[in-house]
Amino acid sequence: MKTIDPPISVGVLGYRFMGEAHANAMARLPMFFPDAPEVHRDVLVGRDESALAEAATRLGFDRFATDWESVVEDVDVFYNLGPNHLHPEPSIAALESGTPVLCEKPLAPTLDDAERMADAADDAHVQTACAFNYRFVPAIRYAKRLLDAGEVGEIHHVRGRYLQDWLVDPDEPWSWRNDADMAGSGALGDLGSHTIDLARFLVSDQVGGIERVSGHLRTFVGERPVEDDEGTRTVTVDDAYSAQAEFETGAMGTFEASRFATGHKNDHTIEIHGSRGSLRFSLERLNELEVLREDGRGYETVLVTDEDDPYVDRWWPPGHVLGWEHTFVHENFEFLSAVAEGRPFEPDFSAGLAVQRVLNAIVESDGRGEWVSVG
């Protein structure tokens, strides 16, 4: 695997939500992770020159560019944080130039694109990352430790749901996230990809992969107003999905996500029930893990902020809680360290592809009205 000597120059495509989250993470690294490789926020890539110039200055980049083609060859590492339809070509071009790539989730709008990206990663022998940032929540890492230690016993149920409500207003404007060509799918890919990845991360050692699914997708509002313009545009993706899943061992999975779950802003929960105990996590209380132990009478709430909890010693004393942005700092630390040390990174493009296969099977199952094998 490729090793890159620091300082590592990074080119970033995208300067909105995810561009800000990752730029903030890179800026925090030298202060809180002094053992992280030195990183140089080199070039920010986008289309609109004046917006780019402003963002490049604000986010600490030396320069900006409007053509990703030259950037992917020029930098040590490429971050693809654009809308989903921009994930495949720039990422593949970067890999073909031997440049390691971190790409936002879902890996691609379609399974076909995700397969091409994973193939390019295999051929390139460089580090790739599919940015499932919730793997880097300390309480999730702590949950994995408990699961790996066999604390919940044989796993029977894995239940994950990701609830938001930002589209419940039919006057909320249309955006690329509502478009099948640009996004691939809606709540399923945007939110469900996180849940499927988290489930795989936490329990695949115990229950194997997801073998088959039964899915249901629904669009509640078919047309949305166009921002600052006349008329409406058609919504071509799901507003919500639900799915049943069967893991290799026969363990049962139930998953759902919605952008219409009134009252829920960013409520990502995962519950695991085993023969000896259970675990429960919610992103809205991300410093906590609820644990039911074999000899317990009920769930105990563990505040996962002790010094020996994952990543916590890098930040504040016990009880001085962490937030959503810290997950990106941890993720950037792990990815950039892997690049500097010539190690592979997890979750990589093959993990992104594995999630995409499940998303695809859920869509197919909805269309056919029957259970579909994940393949």
Longest dimension (CA), the chain: 63
- What are the DSSP calls for 185-207, one per residue? SSHIIIIIHHHHHHHHHHHHHHH
Interacting residues with ligand SOE between 41 and 80 (CB under 6 A): none
Min dist. Cβ of residue 37 to ligand SOE (A): 26
Min dist. Cβ of residue 109 to ligand SOE (A): 14
Interacting residues with ligand SOE between 210 and 229 (CB under 6 A): none
Min dist. Cβ of residue 162 to ligand SOE (A): 8
Cβ-closest residue to ligand SOE?
190
Instruction: For residue 330, count other CB atoms closer than 10 A to its CB.
Output: 22
Min dist. Cβ of residue 259 to ligand SOE (A): 7
Tokens 């071509």: give the residue. 236
- Nearest CB to ligand SOE, comparing residues 164 and 332: 164
- Nearest CB to ligand SOE, comparing residues 20 and 119: 20
- Cβ density class 170-203: b for 16+ within 10 Å, e for less: eeeebbebbbbebbbbbbbbbbbbbbbbbbbbbb
Report the distance separating Cα 322 and Cα 55, nearest Å: 26
Min dist. Cβ of residue 236 to ligand SOE (A): 17
* 183: helix, strand or coil: helix
- Nearest CB to ligand SOE, comparing residues 97 and 236: 236
Min dist. Cβ of residue 198 to ligand SOE (A): 11
Instruction: Please tell me the count of residues contacting ligand SOE according to CB under 6 A.
Output: 3
Q: Does 190 bind ligand SOE (CB under 6 A)?
A: yes
- Nearest CB to ligand SOE, comparing residues 178 and 206: 178
Min dist. Cβ of residue 359 to ligand SOE (A): 14
User: What are the two backbone dihedrals, phi and then psi, of residue 160, each rounded to the nearest 5 degrees?
Assistant: -135, 135
Q: Does 179 bind ligand SOE (CB under 6 A)?
A: no
Min dist. Cβ of residue 268 to ligand SOE (A): 8
- Nearest CB to ligand SOE, comparing residues 90 and 106: 106
Q: What H or E segment, with its residue span, contains residue 211?
A: strand 210-218
- Nearest CB to ligand SOE, comparing residues 266 and 282: 266
Type of residue numbered 78: F
Min dist. Cβ of residue 17 to ligand SOE (A): 6
* 139: helix, strand or coil: helix
Angle of helix 193-207 relative to helix 138-148, nearest 10 degrees? 20
Tokens 């049943």: give the residue. 244
State the alpha helices, DSSP H only, in the chain: 17-32, 49-58, 68-74, 88-96, 111-124, 138-148, 180-183, 187, 193-207, 324-341, 349-368
Taking residues 148 to 177 in sequence order and writing x for each that binds ligand SOE by CB under 6 A, - otherwise, the string is ----------------x-------------
Taking residues 250 to 289 in sequence order and writing x for each that binds ligand SOE by CB under 6 A, - otherwise, the string is ----------------x-----------------------
Interacting residues with ligand SOE between 309 and 368 (CB under 6 A): none
- Nearest CB to ligand SOE, comparing residues 84 and 99: 84
Which tokens sit at 52? 């780019």
- Nearest CB to ligand SOE, comparing residues 110 and 214: 110
Per the omega criterion (within 30 degrees of 0), is the bond before 317 cis? no
Type of residue numbered 178: N
- Nearest CB to ligand SOE, comparing residues 185 and 214: 185
Note the residues at the interface with ligand SOE (CB under 6 A). Answer: 164, 190, 266
